[in-house]
Structure 1
Amino acid sequence: MLLLATACSGSGEEEPEGGSPSATEAPAVEIAIAPGDGATDVATSGELRVSAEHGTLTGVSVTDADGAEVPGELTEDATGWEPDEHLANDTAYTVTAVGENAEGREATAGSGFTTVAADETFTTNWNISDGATVGVGMVLSLTFDTPIEDTAAVRDAVRITADSGAEVRGHWFGTQRLDFRPEEYWEAGTEVEVSFRVRGVEGAPGVYGTLREDLTFTVGRSQVTTVDAAAKEMRVVRDGEELRTVPVTTGAEATPTWNGRMVITEKHRETRMDGATVGFGGEYDIPDVPHAMRLSTSGTFIHGNYWASSDTFGRDNVSHGCVGLDDTRGAGDPDTPAAWFYDNSIIGDVVEVINSEDDVIAPDNGLNGWNMPWDEWGAGQ
C-alpha cells in the first residue's frame, strides 16, 4: 500500500469562480511511501522507497526509535528516494517526506513500519584495527561464523575507499572468508576508509548480519623484501631504496619454502614452534624462537635462528620451510640480522620468495591473495 499526501492551497488564496482551481494552477505534489503505514515484517532491503508525482522531493527522513537516521539518496530528478544501506532487523522506523510542486507549494507525508525479525544472525570478524598503520601488502580479510549463500550481497555491503583512487575488490575463499585488495600493492601513504554495512543483509535464508561500523587505516612506507632461496640471501627495499642485504637459510631440499608473495600478519618477539602442529611430528619443538613473523596460515615464518651456526646463513638451506636469520637466544641482542629486520618490519609488509624448489603459495594460505591474477580476483562472485 502507498501512502499519499496532497498539498493544499494556503488559506489566504482567492478561490477561482465556481470553486475549482484555475486552469493555470500547477497540480499539487503527491508523495507516495512504501511500505504503507503500519506495515510489519518488512524486508530489510528492497521495500523502502519514496516517490513524488507532479513535483519533486525536497527532504526525506527515516529514523528508528532512538533517532538514528537511515542514509539515502534522491534520484537525479528528485522524484524518488531510496536508502543506501540495509535496514536493521526487528526495528520500527518512521518516515517523513516533504515535496513541492512546480509553484513551490509543499506537501508532507509520513509513515511508520517495522522490519522482519531475524531467525538467526551471523557474526563478522576482520583483521585490521581502526587507526592502524600497515604495510603496502595488507589485505582486509573478513571471516563469518556461518556459511554465506548470498555472497554478492555481503561483499557489496563492505565499502572501501582509498584516497589514492585505487579500485579495491573483494574475493571469496569458500563461503566464510572474504578478502579485499587493490590490483597492485597499496601506494605508500594511502588513507583507506572502510564502511561495514552488513547489518540487515540476509546472508542465507533467515540469517542476517549485525555489523555496522566504520574504520580507517593508513598505508605506511613501502617495504618489500625479496628472499632468493637459491642465493640464500634477502634484499630489503624501502620506498625504492635498498636498505640491506641479509644472508638467510630457507627450506631444506625435503622441506622447501613456498615461492610467491607473502604478507607479514603477526609479529612475536619470542614464540614457541612445535613441529607437531604443522605436520612434522616430533622433529622439533622450540619454545623460544626469537623475532618471529608469520607469513602463512600453514606455519611459514621469517624468524631468528640461534640454534644453527652463524656460517649456515648464506651457505646452506636447512629449515623446515621457514626463512631463518642469524640471531641469539632470548631476542635480547638488537644488533643481530633477525632483530634488525624485526624492528624494521610492520604488519602488512611483503616478503617475496623466489628460486625455491616448491610451488607458489596458495592465495588463501595467509593474506597472500597477491598470488592470484587480478582478472581472477572476485570473478563470478
Structure 2
Amino acid sequence: MAGLMMTTMVVACTPKSAERGDGGVGAGSAAQDTGPQATVTVTEPAAHATGVEPLAKVVFTVQHADRTQVEVTDADGATVKGKTAPDGGSWQPEKAFAWGRAYTATVTATTAGGTSTTATSSFRIKKKPAKVVRVTSPFGDGRTWGVGMVMVLKFGRSIPERYRADIEKRITVESTPTQEGSWNWFAKDELHYRPKTFWKAGTKIGYNAQLTGVPMGQGWYGNAHRSFTGTIGRSLIITVDDRTKTMTVKKDGTTVRTIPVSLGAARTPSSSGTHLIMTRERHARFNTMGAQDPRDRYDIPVEYAQRLTWQGEYIHAASWSEPSQGKVNVSHGCINISVKNAAWLFANTLVGDPVTTKGTPRKVDHANGYTDWNSDWDDYRNGSALN
C-alpha cells in the first residue's frame, strides 16, 4: 500500500483522561481493573498513508479485550458506515471511500473491567484516476420480476480475464430464502447471475457491487458502487411447442391457459431455447424497411409486444395471422397469438418470465437476449472466474 509504512501499537497504561492522538496515545486502566491490559494495533492503512485504495479495509489486532469498537470519520467529522469482519480483525466501509478524501480510523479496545485503549490511523484515498470504467445495471430497484430473472452488470469496456475474479470477489449477492447461484461472464463486458434452478416465488434478491477503484486492466479502474434489489413474483412459465402449434401457460405449477400460435415460417424460423421476457410494450411499431430482402420489409403497428431476443423475436398480437394460429407457421420469427390472448397474456406477465420454445429448426444464439438458462448448471458455473 502506498504511503509511510508505520504500525501503531498502544498499551493501556495511562489514566483515562490521557490525550489521544494520531499514532496511538491510548487511554489507561481503571484502578479496579487488575487483569491483563488491552493492547490494540492498527496496521492498515498505515498512519499518514496516501494513495490508499477506495475499498481499503482498516486492519487491526487486539489482545486482552472484551469488546472492540471501530469508528471511521471523514475530514468533516462525518461517520463512515461500515462493518467489522466476523473474525474481529478488520473493518470495511459499506460504500467505497471517496476519491482523494482524508479519513481517520479509531479503534477502541475495552477490557471486561472497563479499561479502554485506543489507536488511530489517519490516511488519504488516492486521487480519481484518469481512466475509469463505467459500470451500470439495466434494471431498476424495487420492482417485481419473473422466476427466470438474471441479475446483470455491464461494463464500459471489455474486462481482461485476469481481473475478473477480483471483480466477483467485490460483489455480494443476497437472496431470501437462500438459493444456490453463480456469476457468469456472459460476455467480455457483461456479468450475469442466476440461481441453479428458477427462483422460488416471493424471493427477495439483490447484489452490492463495491467496484470503485477496482483494477480492470491496462490502467483502468471501476468508477462506482452499484447495487440492485428486487422481488420475484409468482411462478409463471410459458412453453411453446412448434409440433402442436400451442403455447402452454403455467402459473404456480397449474396450467391456466393454452393458446394457439403461429411461429416463424420456414424461411424465417423462430428460435428454440429458453428465453426471458426482456421488455413489454402495450403499443409498438415494427419497422424493417431497411431489410436487404424486400420480402422482409414492413412497417406496422403492433399491440402487446413482449421482446424475447435482441434480434427482434417477440410474442405479440397478430390479428392478420389468426386463421393460421394453431395450424401453420407464417410469421417472420415472432410468436403470433390472437389479440384476445395477447391482451390476457400481457396482463399476466412480468419481465423475467421464462419462455421455452421447442421443436423449431433453429436454436437461439448465445447472448441473443438473456439466454442464461440454455446452459446446464456446471457449464454456467464454469463461466465464473472464481470457478
TM-score by length of 2: 0.84
Query: Does residue 232 of structure 1 match 2:245?
Result: yes
Does structure 2 retain, via aligned residues, the 8 Å contact 1:60–1:81?
Answer: no
Does structure 2 retain, via aligned residues, the 8 Å contact 1:249–1:312?
Answer: yes
**Residues 90-135 of structure 1: CA deviation (Å, up to 9, x unaligned):** 2222100111457653211112111222322222221221110111
In 2, Cα distance between the equivalents of 1:219 and 1:49? 38
SS in 1 for 2:316: strand
Does structure 2 retain, via aligned residues, the 8 Å contact 1:29–1:106?
Answer: no
Sort the Cα spacing of 1:132 and 1:312 in 2 relative to 1 into closer, same or farther, 3 A: same
Query: Does residue 2 of structure 1 match 2:24?
Result: no
Alignment of 1:224-263 (within 5 A): 224-263=237-276
Query: Does residue 83 of structure 1 match 2:92?
Result: yes
Of the three residues 343, 346, 350, the one matched with 1:342 is: 346
Structure-2 residue corresponding to 1:93: 103
Sort the Cα spacing of 1:162 and 1:74 in 2 relative to 1 into closer, same or farther, 3 A: closer
Q: Which runs of 5+ in 2 are unaligned?
A: 1-5, 18-33
Q: CA deviation at 1:188?
A: 0.8
Does structure 2 retain, via aligned residues, the 8 Å contact 1:64–1:93?
Answer: yes
Sort the Cα spacing of 1:3 and 1:25 in 2 relative to 1 into closer, same or farther, 3 A: same
Query: Does residue 121 of structure 1 match 2:125?
Result: no
Sort the Cα spacing of 1:277 and 1:197 in 2 relative to 1 into closer, same or farther, 3 A: farther
In 2, Cα distance between the equivalents of 1:253 and 1:313? 15
Structure-2 residue corresponding to 1:219: 232
RMSD of aligned Cα (Å): 2.6
Does structure 2 retain, via aligned residues, the 8 Å contact 1:125–1:142?
Answer: yes
Sort the Cα spacing of 1:46 and 1:363 in 2 relative to 1 into closer, same or farther, 3 A: same
Letter matched to residue 137 of structure 1: G
Structure-2 residue corresponding to 1:35: 45
Task: Indicate the percent of aligned positions where both proteins have the same amino acid.
Answer: 31
Q: CA deviation at 1:243?
A: 1.1
TM-score by length of 1: 0.86
Does structure 2 retain, via aligned residues, the 8 Å contact 1:293–1:301?
Answer: yes
Structure-1 residue corresponding to 2:370: 367
Sort the Cα spacing of 1:128 and 1:242 in 2 relative to 1 into closer, same or farther, 3 A: same
Letter matched to residue 43 of structure 1: E
Q: Which runs of 5+ in 1 are unaligned?
A: 13-23, 328-335
In 2, Cα distance between the equivalents of 1:366 and 1:279? 23
SS in 2 for 1:185: coil
In 1, Cα distance between the equivalents of 2:292 and 2:176? 43
SS in 1 for 2:369: coil
Letter matched to residue 228 of structure 1: D
In 1, Cα distance between the equivalents of 2:293 and 2:190? 27
Letter matched to residue 315 of structure 1: K
Sort the Cα spacing of 1:351 and 1:124 in 2 relative to 1 into closer, same or farther, 3 A: same
SS in 2 for 1:154: helix
Alignment of 1:152-231 (within 5 A): 152-231=165-244
Structure-2 residue corresponding to 1:352: 356
Letter matched to residue 90 of structure 2: W
Query: Does residue 300 of structure 1 match 2:313?
Result: yes
SS in 2 for 1:250: coil
Q: CA deviation at 1:153?
A: 2.2
SS in 2 for 1:99: strand
